[in-house]
């Protein structure tokens, strides 16, 4: 009987102990499962944070932040590398003083990189706003800059880099505006130099080859043209139409001045008999044209009067052609032929003045 009692007690104790052990094992398993869930959540939170920052970094990398905010961007890159290493070492089960980095320290490091990225964006916006005009001008001018002006362009780019560095150092806004204006002036001067080199300088070189004493009127005509071109360059350096038209007009005046100089030299070197022959030749030419195209005898007029008659008659006939377009007594070919004949000798005014001088002598 006592043996049966003892057996029953032992069986009860065994069952009780087994139940308790089972309950304890179940509790531990539950806790482990919860820890895994928590750890996964921690890992996911850290990974989401670093992924977002790295995506922002990659986007910014294609937006020239390294140019517009170099110091800040360098800090971003360095901090991002350190943070990525920190994330790779992060283990939710091994945090603390003697373990790996804590979640708080990892997230704080990620947040610091994010702050640096935002700061870089602010600096870029500030730079592109205050330097909007100089930067646009530099972009326009850079392809036009040859070896002669590379030094000036490099100097301007250096000034821009220094300007950006000063912004990153939080330099006073008033000082930024002063520095910006200095840069803008250098850019403007460079543009004027480039346009001068292309349009003005070649013409000025030809102008200085003209003899002012020999052909003062023609010389002054070219000089006034150069002044007009200089005014266009100063006020509208990108108006290529105005620049080209003015430059072409000056080229024409220079070419005309060279021909006039050659004619004046030629006449100055003639003896008296040759001078009379030239006068007779010019008069005969105009008299022949008068008979052929105007049906008038101009032999009893002075050379200047002959030219004036041609101008008056041609103007009248051209006016009649423009209004009626019928009964035209002079054709375009005839007008061209007359003009070409006159041009072969010299300009009408120069011929008239020279002939008048010769006749008086």
Q: Could you count the other beta carbons within 10 Å of the beta carbon of residue 195?
A: 22
Predicted TM-score of the model (pTM): 0.67
> Could you please report the per-residue DSSP string of 51-101?
HHHHHHHHHHHTTTHHHHSHHHHHHHHHHHHHHHHHHHH--TTSBSSSSB-
299 three-state secondary structure: coil
Residue 88's pLDDT is 86
Task: Name residue, tokens 């000025």.
Answer: 204
What does the alpha-carbon distance between residue 232 and residue 166 come to, in Å, rounded to a whole number?
Answer: 36
234 and 192 Cβ atoms separated by less than 8 Å: yes
Residue 230's contacts (CB-CB under 8 Å, 6 or more residues apart) are 200
103/358 Cα distance (integer angstroms): 107
Q: What is the pLDDT of residue 346?
A: 47
What span, in angstroms and rounded, lies between the C-alpha atoms of 249 and 255? 10
SS3 of 331, please?
A: coil
pLDDT at site 277? 84
Tell me how far apart the alpha carbons of residues 244 and 256 are, in angstroms, rounded to a whole number.
18
Contact 68, 164 (CB under 8 A): yes
Return the residue matching tokens 């989401």: 48
Place of tokens 């990153």: 168
CA distance 337 to 158: 61
DSSP state at residue 347 = -
Half-sphere exposure (CA, 13 Å, Cβ side) for 359? 13
Q: What is the pLDDT of residue 211?
A: 93
Distance CA 315, CA 313 (A): 5
Q: Where are the domains of the chain?
A: 2-91+101-130, 270-360
Residues of the chain where predicted confidence (pLDDT) is lower than 70: 1-39, 96-99, 324-361
CA 115 – CA 118 distance, rounded (Å): 5
> Where is 217: in which H helix or E strand?
helix 216-235
Q: How far apart are CA 167 and CA 160, in angstroms?
A: 11
**pLDDT at site 1:** 47
Chain Cα centroid distance, residue 323: 49
> 83: buried, middle or exposed (CB in 10 Å: 19+, 13-18, 0-12)?
buried
């Amino acid at each position: 009987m006592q043996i049966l009692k003892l057996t029953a007690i032992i069986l009860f104790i065994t069952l009780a102990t087994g139940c308790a052990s089972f309950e304890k094992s179940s509790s531990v398993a539950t806790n482990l499962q919860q820890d895994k869930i928590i750890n996964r959540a921690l890992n996911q939170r850290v990974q989401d944070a670093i992924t977002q920052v790295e995506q922002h970094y990659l986007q910014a990398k294609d937006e020239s932040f390294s140019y517009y905010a170099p110091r800040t961007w360098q800090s971003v890159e360095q901090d991002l590398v350190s943070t990525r290493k920190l994330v790779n070492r992060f283990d939710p089960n091994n945090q603390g003083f003697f373990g790996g980095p804590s979640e708080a320290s990892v997230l704080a490091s990620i947040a610091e990189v994010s702050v640096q990225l935002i700061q870089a964006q602010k600096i870029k916006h500030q730079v592109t706003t205050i330097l909007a005009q100089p930067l646009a001008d530099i972009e326009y001018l850079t392809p036009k800059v040859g070896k002669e002006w590379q030094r000036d362009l490099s100097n301007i780019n250096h000034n821009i880099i220094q300007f950006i560095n000063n912004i990153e150092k939080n330099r006073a806004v008033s000082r930024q505006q002063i520095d910006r204006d200095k840069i803008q002036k250098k850019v403007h001067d460079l543009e004027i130099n480039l346009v001068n080199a292309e349009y003005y300088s070649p013409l000025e070189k030809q102008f200085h080859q003209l003899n002012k004493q020999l052909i003062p009127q023609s010389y002054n005509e070219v000089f006034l043209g150069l002044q007009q071109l200089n005014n266009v360059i100063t006020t509208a350096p990108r108006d290529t139409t105005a620049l080209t038209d003015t430059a072409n007009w000056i080229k024409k005046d220079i070419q005309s001045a060279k021909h006039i100089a050659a004619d004046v030299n030629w006449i100055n070197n003639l003896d008296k008999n040759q001078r009379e022959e030239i006068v007779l030749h010019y008069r005969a030419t105009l008299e022949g044209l008068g008979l052929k195209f105007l049906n008038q005898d101009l032999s009893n007029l002075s050379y200047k009067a002959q030219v004036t008659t041609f101008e008056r008659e041609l103007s009248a006939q051209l006016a009649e052609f423009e209004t009626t377009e019928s009964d035209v007594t002079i054709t375009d070919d005839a007008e061209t032929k007359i003009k070409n004949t006159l041009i072969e000798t010299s300009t009408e005014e120069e011929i008239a003045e020279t002939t008048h001088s010769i006749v008086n002598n």
